[in-house]
Structure 1
Amino acid sequence: MVHPIHANVVSWIVIVSLSCLLHGATGQLTFDFYKTSCPNVDAIVANVTLALSKRDNVVAPAVLRLYFHDCLVEGCDASILISSTPTNVAERDAPDNLSFPQNGFDAIVEAKKAVEAACPAVVSCADILAMAARDVVVFSGGPRWAVPKGRRDGLISRAARVEGRLPASSFNVSQLVTLLSTVNLSIEDLVVLSGAHTIGFSHCNQFSKRLYNFSSAAKTDPSLDPTLAASLKASCPQVGGSPNTVRGFDATTPFAFDNSYYRNLQNNRGLLVSDQALALDKRTSPVVASLAASQEDFFFAFMQAMVKLGYTGIKTGSQGEVRRDCRAFNARSNT
């Protein structure tokens, strides 16, 4: 399902191009990094990503989630794309990443192949993932922004390094703030980037405790809208349900990138504990209210936050490498 982009979003692109300066970025990345070496890279990545997203509605949320999980572990260096080998269990095979659909990984591999055909050994997988994350937001009806480029691909991908670096579905706001502060993301960034849950789905095991075993005082989470709780229980029975069953983070428009995620939170219709907590905590509820009131404000804030996130733990210059295949290091001995 494709939704039109708001007309005024186009005028925001230039403004967001400056957002890295607003957040104190070092200027290590540039918007025209591939101006001479691969001038059409944005179009190449977009063409592949959008074609695959039209064919499979899992691709958009999978690619966006890949980007978050990549940046929060080793930095935005495409370490999550590395396949495991007999001598190394890679990041993608850590317990916290096992629920990723293969579709997301495949989309980045296909985009890399297209880029390699036009510009061999020039564009990093890390930059391709950053561009693809932007493109799937656009496909889903969200804003387009200029992606700073010049990242190098990391040389480390280990499952053992993932634990404790990704937010859990049961986290409260304090836990979320503490985690994201380690990568210099603010409490406002937390609320804005959580808006990525306006598209995508979660498996039953991520929210079933809210339905059946919430606490000694209440089997069902009292902060969960009763109508939604009943619907979730029908999809995810306590006994006999399928482990592959999923429900949308946004119960209203799970395929559309819009601000209904925040309006749902205000109505106690957040899917995960970590989602609903944003509307219940006095530190984050005002931001939720602001983004629920204005989709334009959400779009603008999301673009800024994504540019800021894209600077997390980056490798540039002589650091890292430009992989030939996003699934494997150029030097097979790297782990």
Structure 2
Amino acid sequence: MLSIGDLARESGLSVSSLRYYDKVGVLVPHTVDPHTGYRRYTFDQVDQARLVAGMRGIGLPVREMVEVLRGDDPHGVLAAHVRRLERALDEARSQTSRLHSLITDRVTPTSSATVSAGALAAAVESVLYACDPHSPFAALRGVLVECDGTALRLVATDRYRMAVTEVAAPGSDEFSTLVPSEFLRTAVHDHLPGPGVASLSRRADTVTLSGPAGIARATALPETFPDYRVVLAPRPGTVGELDRDRVRRASTAETVSVRCGAGGRVRLAAPGVTGGADDTSGPQVLVPARHLREAVDALPGGRLTVTTAGPWAPVELRAADAPGTVSLLMPVADA
């Protein structure tokens, strides 16, 4: 016979644990002295005690320990417990990820820009046409949002065209983030209608847009946006004034030839479109008609200017009433 201390040494269970398992009916001593209360165990109970120690180590509930010791499908009991542990581990991982995000948010400052809601809505609409929402490259699916503390700049490109615009944002923070274009498209429609102010902010990788009609959040895109400033660098060229209606008539063709002439006049050469500048000394540039039409439709205000700098230089379109708004169209080869 073994004393409770002997069994504790043999099994790895403490004396207090053996007393507990006796109390709950998991491992009952072979005999208990009625006068002293000393517990005595058989040598056959050593294996049981070791089994109990192992089950205790994996957190098996007492009721299931009893089932295992009775031999009621012990392997099935253990397998079910492992499945519970795996589900708990998955949940713990999920909660841990959430905790990491909360901790990051606590130590990461929020950068934000406050602007006119109407101006922000118009700015978003003026650049979305240049995005490619189906591109495999995240940078081309997004809109770069930059704030220098005084103005909020939005930039979008699909590699064949680029749109840039600015909104006054005095007293704002300096930050830069790449925002999913489809998020902005939806958020402008749902949360920016009506007068008032709006704010666009970033904290860690979360972008928040708050407008008169509500709040929306999205995860910033992780990719680096192309260096658009290289393309925006000033270059000498011929400037002309562009007529919106003539552009829409020319859009029936696949490509349009844009040529700036003397006195700021512009000739658009396309099937069914005639007239324009008499002096065609300026460089001729071919651009996709659809790209030209979409750029013109997106630019705000009335009067538009176009600058050409050579057959392979981007065509630059600007809104006279919005100096910070510009669209660039890449030329195409003459078929």
Q: TM-score, normalised by structure 1?
A: 0.25
Q: If each structure's strand is expressed as a fraction of its own residues, which one has the higher value? A: 2
Q: TM-score, normalised by structure 2?
A: 0.25
Higher relative contact order (CA 8 A, sep 6+): 1
Which protein shows a greater Rg?
Answer: 2
